[in-house]
Structures are given as C-alpha cells and as structure tokens.
Structure 1
Amino acid sequence: MARMHADEHAIDTTLVRRLVHGQFPRWADLPITPLASGGTVNAVYRLGDSLTVRLPLTEGGAADIEKERRALAALGELPMAVPAVVAVGEPGEGYPLPWAVHGWLDGAPALEGRPARGLAEFVLAVRANRAAGPPARRGRPLSTMDSFAREAIDELSRTDEPFDAAAARAVWAEALDAPQWTGPPCWVHGDLMPGNLLLRDGRLSGVLDWATAGVGDPAIDLIPAWNLLTADTRGAFRDAVAPDDATWARGRGRALAMAVIQLPYYRHTNPVISANARYVLAELGVLTSSR
C-alpha cells in the first residue's frame, strides 16, 4: 500500500519495538502487534493486552498528543470509556516525533449501516459540558470550508467515481445558506468517524481520538447520521439529539465536505476511509453506486 501522505514517516514493528525497549523497558517483553486501522494521523500498535502505541505519521500529528490530553482533562467524566495516556515517548531510533502509549479500550469499531445504541446519549453528554475549552478544529463556521469543499467536488467530478457533482453542490449550498451557530459555547468531539466509535453488543462503549475536540458548532457531531447510520435509523438519532433544522443542514454539509475531501485524497491509499466516504456520499444521494 502506498503512503497516504507525501511527508509520512516510515514506521514498522521493528521501530516500535526499539522505541519501547529503549524508553519503557518495563514493557520490553510485551508482544507488539500492528493494528489494522483506517486512521490517517497515527500508526497504531497493540502492546501486550492492555496498551496501545500511537505514533504520528507526520509532523502535523505530533501536537495531537497534548491536545487530546487537555481536552479529556477539561471534559472530565463521560458516559463512555475514553483513552488514557499512560506514557509519552520521545523522538529516538531515527523517528523524529513524540509518541504515546494509551490504555487499551475493549470494543469493536462501528460498521456502516449498523446501529450504535448510546450514540445520541454520548453526543449530548459532550455538548452539555460547560468547561472552558479551545476552539474545535472542525467547529468553525461552515463558510471557512467553502473553497476546500468546492475544489474537492470539482476534483472528484474528474475521477471515475459515479459522482453527481451538481447534487453535491446543492447539498453544500443548502448547508451554507442555513443560519450559522449563534448559541453558547458548545463542546464537540469533532471526529466521530466509525473507526473512532467502539461498540460492545451493539452499544457504544468507547470513543477514540480526541485531538479535534473543543468548543464550536455542534453540527460537526451530527456526521454519524450519514457516515454510520441509514435512512431507517437516522431519524431516531435526530429525534434524540434534537438539533434545529439549520444545525441538521450544517451537519449534512460537514459530512459532505469531509467525504468529498477524503475520497480523492485517500481513494488509492486508505480503503477504509475511501469506503466510508463513498458510504456518506451514497447516503446523501450524490453517489449513484458504491464499490
């Protein structure tokens, strides 16, 4: 598989083993296993039975370790399990970035088209927090994404994907025309992709990847309505979260923008992300078929 990013660092089990052995000898005898993941920011390895090692793929992901820790400290107790940072490693062995050891969370990643009980409860619990927080990475006004979304729609229309660019532009225009968020500061997770949602017996049990969390437009946490749910389950999620029509429209727009940006970029390098982008576009009615 080709690298996802031009500036991506080469990471493999041998490197991870050298880093762990050199900096955390108490874990030197634990087995290290690469984890299949659709993640685009970190390479993830299981360390023994109770830990994971996460190494940023690029320089841009290095700051996420501290961002995630600060966000979780500000949010406090949540109704689902979240990753605990057990240790932070330093650059070494030819790897130039800090890296982290997290506690393992049980559960299987959510799958498109299958229900995730407790999802609305989680979204509302995060939103209810009134602690001060940093601006959410994806919580800014939708207009700040306009040029990126339009360029991505144009780029995707030039591929062989069965993509209806005119329909996509209509969804995007509706989202832009919707009134913007003017409510009180609102906490959001900001990256509720299926791979970040862990389920046990069909119920949400844990949520990963908090580097994008912060205060912003709550519409961003509606994206599971299209990247995970179906037409038959979407309404129940909407009823439980109870967004107004404008926030729902912005949520559709954010789901569209993420998908049209992801698909051209990852279609040959990340099958998990590209498949999910196609799923979103199909649910939005702008992809005539999925692969």
Structure 2
Amino acid sequence: MTTSPPPRHPKIEIDVDADLARALLVQQHPDLAHLPLHGRTFGWDNLTWRLGEDLALRFPVREMSSTLVEREQRWLPVLAEQLPVPVPRPVRDGRPGLGYPWTWSVVPWLQGAPVAATPVTGRTGWARELADALAALHHPAPPDAPTNPYRGVPLAQRYDVMVARLTADVPHADALRDALDAGLAAPAWDRDPVWVHGDPHPGNLVAAGGHLTGLIDFGDLCSGDPASDLATAWMTFDAAGRAAFVARTQEAHRWDDATWVRARAWAASYVPVLLAHPDEYPLMAEVGRHTAVQVAHG
C-alpha cells in the first residue's frame, strides 16, 4: 500500500490516513474493509483513497466544504441517469465517526487518467463527448436544486473579487481583465436556471483511449447560468479542441453569443485561483497558465 503526505495546503483541516479510513470501513461497511487501500490523492476540498480496483473513498478535508459530499449523495443518483459519461454516483454513504466529523462516500473508481495530466493536443478527439455530457446536464433544474454563491451566478456578483485577484504576477492579467469586463458588459442570463456542474476543469475530467471516461467532483453542483461550466472551453482545450467543443454544444443548445462571452470571462476568473498554490498543486497551476494563454489569444 502506498500513501502520500497531505499537501501543504492551508485549507486542509483534517487528514484521513489509511488507519482511519480502514477503521471507518470496519465500523460502517465491514464487507468492504478487506479491500486494499492505495493511491491517496488530495483536491481542494476532498481527499480520495482508492479501494481495491473498482471503488474509492471520498472524504471532505475542511469544514467549509463538508456539505459538498452530501450534495453529491442527494443529487448524483438523479443526474447520473441522464448523463452520457460515467460519474462517481455514491454506492454507499458514510457518516461521522471515530473522530472524523463529516459525511463521506464510497464511490465507483472511474478508469482513466486525469485530463490535467494529459497533453492538450490529445484532447480534441473527445471534445464533442464533453460537449454532449455538459449539454445533457444543462437542462432546467428543479426548484429545490442547490444554489452556489461562487458558480452559476451573475458575473456582477463576483466581479470585484475576480478583478482583485488579477495582480501583476498573474500572466496575461490585462487580457484577463478585458475578458472579465466584456463578460460583465454582456447581457446576463435571463432564462430558467439550469443544472451546473460547477467545476468541470481538466482536474475533474478523466480520459482513456481517446475518449472521455469520467466527469467527477460534483461538490459544486448547483443551478444557474451555464457559462461558468462552459469556461472549460478555454481551460481544457486548445483552439482546435475549443472549436469542436463549441460547435457540438451549439448543436444541442444554441446558446447566444453573450453566454460564450460570459464563459470566457469565467475562464479568466479561474486563472489566479488555479495559480494560487503551484508547489502543492502543480497540475492545477499548469491548467491556470494554459487558460491564461487561451483567453488572451483565443
């Protein structure tokens, strides 16, 4: 079994080592406790242990994001049925215990590599598959769908924070500011709120064999303007991949020009966030640098 120390990210409040993960399984899902634990990885809000070959354990690592797994447990069983790509629909729910204070999940392990670790030029082949997945998601959400103050909202609500992050050390800061200004000036979303993934960047996409094999991390799932999701056109692809993604998306939804202007603005806003911890999250920092270039030149 291999483990890794938690990254030096200041937002991580609670680590879950192999002993604690195993003990929680013994307590709550003893029929799974014999499976090997390996391949621990950390994200912004959660850590994941791979369990055997086909499962994974998903644990929140900070109180602020502790309810995100509950959101996945509530809504992924509903949404998984309408999406054309595999998602980590929880197969077991975990509860607080043994000093661990939050809800956690047992989820399927989706085969493939994180897209953030793959060459950008190789992503064009499945750009239409991602477009199909998001198009299937971006349909009207029910009245009780969750909301999110950071995703799917009007750009005007986030503009001041977004602009303040564009300091001189952010690459292409002037072009990113121009993209934000254009997004703010564009007509706002005026349709019924649709389902929004919240974070479909390359770290939350899985691919293998020239295909998209997974869309993961639905913790930011909410309803609202799909532009914050469509920002992945600049975060994930080069010009060729983006053209394929946009064309396929337009076949499904025919979003107006303003939606894409807002999407480019959202992409610009993510750059300084992705670059905030380059030593701890080098792949995300590379996504940030790529996004800055794509927004500036595309």
Give the TM-score range, shorter chain.
0.7 to 0.9
SS of the residue aligned with 1:261?
helix
Q: Which residue of 2 aligns with 1:246?
A: 258
Question: CA 1:73 to 1:11, structure 2 compared with 1: closer, same or farther past 3 Å?
Answer: closer
Q: Which residue pairs with 2:154 in the alignment? A: 141
Structure 2 residue 75 is the aligned partner of structure 1 residue 71: yes
In structure 2, how many angstroms separate the alpha carbons of the residues matched to 1:216 and 1:67?
16
Cα shift at 1:182: 0.5
2-side partners of 1:112 and 1:212: how far apart? 26
Structure 1 segments of 4+ aligned residues over 3 angstroms from their partners: 128-132
Verify: 1:119 aligned to 2:162, yes or no.
no
Per-residue deviation, 1:128: 3.2
For the residue of structure 1 that corresponds to 2:100, the secondary structure is coil
1:27 CA drift (Å): 1.6
Q: Is the 8 A contact 1:189 1:212 kept in 2?
A: yes
Query: Which position in structure 1 is the counterpart of 2:24?
Result: 19
| Counterpart-to-counterpart distance in 1, 2:153 and 2:231 | 15
Percent identity, aligned pairs only?
Answer: 34
Could you tell me how far 1:7 is from its partner in structure 2? 5.1
* Match of residue 255 from structure 1: 267
Q: Determine if the alignment matches structure 1 residue 269 to structure 2 residue 280.
A: yes
Equivalent in the alignment of 1:28: 33
1:202 alignment partner, one of 210, 215, 226: 210
Aligned partner of 1:83 among 85, 88, 98: 88
Contact 1:45 1:53 in 2 (8 A): yes
Return closer, same or farther for 1:210/1:90 CA change in 2, 3 Å cut-off: same
Quick one: which amino acid aligns to residue 278 of structure 2? R
Letter in 1 for 2:100: Y
5+ residue gaps, structure 2, are: 1-5
State the one-letter code of the partner of 1:173: D
Tell me by how many angstroms 1:131 deviates.
Answer: 4.2
Residue 194 of structure 2 corresponds to 186
Whole-Å Cα distance in 2 between the matches of residues 84 and 73 of structure 1?
6
Which structure 2 residues correspond to residues 274-285 of structure 1 after superposition, within 5 A? 274-285=285-296
In the TM superposition, what are the counterparts of 1:86-105 in structure 2 within 5 Å? Answer: 86-105=91-110
CA contact (8 A) 1:71 1:211 kept: no
* TM-score when normalising by structure 2: 0.86
Q: Do the aligned residues in 2 keep the contact of 1:112 with 1:229 (CA within 8 Å)?
A: no
From 215, 224, 238, give the equivalent of 1:216.
224
Give the secondary structure class of the aligned counterpart of 1:204. Answer: strand
CA deviation map 1:194-220 (0-9, x unaligned): 122222322223211112222210111
| TM-score (normalised: structure 1) | 0.88
Gaps of 5+ in 1: 287-291
Instruction: State the shift of 1:273 in Å.
Output: 1.5
